[in-house]
Amino acid sequence: MVWTSYTGDFGIISGIKTTSIGIASTGVVFDLYIPENSFLRDTTIVGTAITLSGIQNGYYFVVSNTNIGNGVTSLNSSGTVIMNGTENLNNVYEAISVSIGQSSVPGIGVTEVAQVVVSLTDYNGLTGLGYSGIFGEYSWARIAATNRGATRSFAIYNNGLSGIETSPIVRRLSPLENFNYNQ
């Protein structure tokens, strides 16, 4: 029998600043915040309310709908290119370092956020940094299967284009059986 677990969350980016620490010598820090009205904070839907992103070092995540930047190239922890972004800071990133810190969130004030450091090849003229704004959105998810037996590889077929929308998508064939599940 295969046991599978799913984890992940999504929300807003409430702050962005540059950094130059460790592996991310040219890096950005994203302040990730799960909004107050998110269903992830509702115990009647998710069982245990999530108030902080559960993203961890080494996890990949998507940044979308950003409103600053000119397109950047993201790097993983070994310095290999993950993706060449073409619009603002929209991209796929690896969380090089994750910590919990205090930041100002619009409409909330100073609160705890997940501060995620990512690595870039360069800033490409990046301006408009700050905090206490909504700079875009983030999402991440992990699917973990145990007792799988043999390792399997799957081919990824993208059309050779760059951009988040051209990336592969994982979709369930059967709905989850869960309390208060809405399809």
| DSSP single-letter state for residue 45 | H
pLDDT band at 40 (very low <50, low <70, confident <90, very high): confident
Q: Could you tell me the residue ranges of all domains in the chain?
A: 3-166
Mean of the per-residue pLDDT values of the chain: 83
pTM: 0.79
State the Cα–Cα distance between residues 39 and 84, nearest whole angstrom: 32
Structure token digits, residue 52:
């902080």
First to last CA, the chain: 26
Element (H, E) at 94: strand 91-94
Q: Between residues 110 and 179, which one has the greater pLDDT?
A: 110
Amino acid at site 94: E
Amino acid at site 135: F
Q: How crowded is residue 182: how many other Cβ atoms within 10 Å of its Cβ? A: 7
CB of 58 within 8 A of CB of 95?
A: yes
Instruction: List % helix, strand, coil for the chain (3-state, nearest 5).
Output: 5, 45, 50
Residues 71-120 pLDDT 10s: 999 999 998 999 998 899 999 999 999 999 999 999 999 999 999 999 99
Residues 16-28 pLDDT 10s: 999 986 666 899 9
pLDDT of residue 6: 80
